[in-house]
A and B are shown apart, each in its own frame.
Chain A
Amino acid sequence: MIDWLDFLLVLVSALVGACVVVSAYALGIRLLTLSGRTPLVTPAEFTDAITIVTPAEIKAAAKRAAKAAKKSPLTEGQKRLALIGAWGCFALSAIAVLVGIYLILGEHLTRLVGGA
């Protein structure tokens, strides 16, 4: 007997879980950028030829970000609020991941801890 409900459960839980996590994080990035703190990843040293961003590229990106932050129409207070909002969104994203793991595996984990 095929339990189609299981397939629906997988689809809905994966869709809702992934969209909540990604949206919250993306919103956090948007707010962080609005607050004038555009995230930039500095070049990393690798063991082979991978070059993701060069020092020159990161310098140019930092310059662009600083220029954009200077021209921001937001007041300092609004920027602070955006920053708080950004960290709130990142926290929401992390909590969504933990809740998702607990909902999926919590029963087993409880049994595992209870049995130990």
Chain B
Amino acid sequence: MDLTLIVVLVIALALFFDFTNGFHDTANAMATPIATGALRPKAAVTLAAILNLVGAFLSTEVAKTISGGIIREGDGGVLITPELVFAGLIGAVVWNMITWLLGLPSSSSHALFGGLIGAAIVGAGLGAIDFPVVVSKVILPALLAPLTAGLVAYAATKLAYAITRRYDGKPDGRDGFRYAQIFSSSLVALAHGTNDAQKTMGVITLTLVAANLQSPGSDVQWWVIVTCAVAIALGTYMGGWRIIKTLGTGLTDVKPAQGFAAETATAATILASSHVGFALSTTQVASGSVIGSGLGRRGSKVRWRTAGRIGVGWLLTLPAAGAVGALAALVAHLGVGGVIIDAVVGVVVIIGIFMWSRRSEVSHHNVVSEVADSGRAVKIKRNPKPKRKAKK
């Protein structure tokens, strides 16, 4: 197949993936401030789109992890071809769409890594994968980042409530946290741009290196940064309109103080992780924060069954997307015909699920399901009595 054509195909698919990432993840940043009344929906969505765009320009560490870390670069360039990157992307997109349709908790980032790893192993052997980098920059952060975010959110929520608590029954002013949420949710949107847009930049850079259009280890090109930033911002904006149309009931009981603490924890964890090149799932980090902040409220308990279901969904994503990516790579190995079959299957799945989504009613279940589900993993008592009595 013509090299230019396959490179263009991969870039188009990668940008589509970036768009869906923004479309899907608007809820992570903006569902809470909209639900608590901190921001009007239109303002929230516009702000999220702009900050995702800005965030995409702020760092390239995660892009380097993907373009030059996960896939081993040999003496003559990377061991995989653009066709294999295409197969990996198809694996990620198809798995993402399937989990979205079935309502399974998943992570688009891990679907991307899984798809790429699966396709690379089938197409170029185990030697194509730099396993120490995969473990240190993808798998361990996937396990530790939600825990970190949860711990930070727990501590921040405890502090927020302790500092503002009134034992005399007078107004505590916690409504004021709604204003703070404008900034904390903006920070989450910015952090999302710094981590998620870079994943696509990494994939495009990897493709350019694999096609010998860029030397291994070189920086991400400026046009790649710009196109990825625009794609994720557009996706955020479009996804946000869907939320405006539908968001109403069903969100977990998130109080403004708790929401502020959770969002600050999410943003701090993602920004710090982007700095050291950890390729995280922002959905998992946001979910960890929501659970942690829920536990930070008095009288809360973990619903282990719900938490376990979410955890299993997350653990399954990487190997499952890897299997789909591997299958797509096997097909792509057939030559031009194989790549065409992959492309057709990918397009059919995307169009089919798009049509399905147009037919089915859009509700909070398929818009904010993952982060909201995480909130349901914590049972919170309504208005627990303060432990200390007021001084008379």
Contacts and interface: CB of A to CB of B under 8 A. Distances in A.
Interface string B166-201: 100011111111111001000100100010000000
B5 interface: no
The 5 closest A-B pairs by CB, nearest first: A39-B176, A52-B37, A33-B173, A26-B163, A14-B268
Contacts of B276: 6, 9-10
B265 A18 contact: yes
A32 B176 contact: yes
B245 interface: yes
Given A14-B268, A97-B187, A105 B159 contact: no
B155 A15 contact: yes
A99 interface: no
B163 A104 contact: no
A81 interface: no
Interface of B: 34-38, 40-42, 57-61, 132, 135-136, 140-141, 144-145, 148-149, 151-153, 155-156, 159-160, 163-164, 166, 170-180, 183, 187, 190, 194, 244-249, 257, 260-261, 264-265, 268-269, 271-276, 278
B257 A26 contact: yes
B171 A18 contact: no
A35 to B, nearest CB: 10
Nearest to A50: B248
8 contacts: A18-B153, A23-B163, A39-B179, A40-B175, A48-B246, A50-B248, A65-B171, A97-B187
Given A39-B176, A49-B248, A61-B171, A105 B135 contact: no
B60 A108 contact: yes
A30 B246 contact: no
Contact of A14 (B148, B172, B173): B148
A7 B280 CA distance: 13
A94 B184 CA distance: 10
A26 B160 contact: yes
Interface in A9-48: 9-11, 13-15, 17-19, 21-23, 25-30, 32-33, 38-41, 43-48
Contacts, number: 164
A65 B59 CA distance: 45
- Interface SS of B by simple majority: helix
A101 interface: yes
B59 A105 contact: yes
Nearest to A3: B136
B37 A41 contact: yes
A29 B178 CA distance: 11
Contacts of B171: 33, 38, 61, 64-65, 68
A39 B246 contact: no
Contacts of A3: 136
A56 interface: no
Contact of B136 (A2, A13, A41): A2
- Of A2, A25, A112, most buried by chain B (CB within 10 Å of CB) is A25
Contacts of B265: 14, 18
A97 B163 contact: no
Contacts of A13: 268, 272
B40 A44 contact: yes
B156 A7 contact: no
A65 B176 CA distance: 13
A85 interface: no
A9 B148 CA distance: 11
Interface in A53-79: 53, 61, 64-65, 68
A88 interface: no
Given A7-B144, A18-B156, A104-B275, 20 more contacts: A10-B148, A14-B148, A14-B265, A14-B268, A18-B153, A19-B156, A26-B159, A26-B164, A29-B173, A33-B166, A41-B179, A46-B40, A47-B41, A48-B247, A52-B35, A53-B37, A61-B171, A68-B170, A105-B58, A112-B57
Contacts of A97: 183, 187
A97 to B, nearest CB: 7
A38 B58 contact: no
Contact of B160 (A11, A22, A64): A22
A38 to B, nearest CB: 5
B166 to A, nearest CB: 8
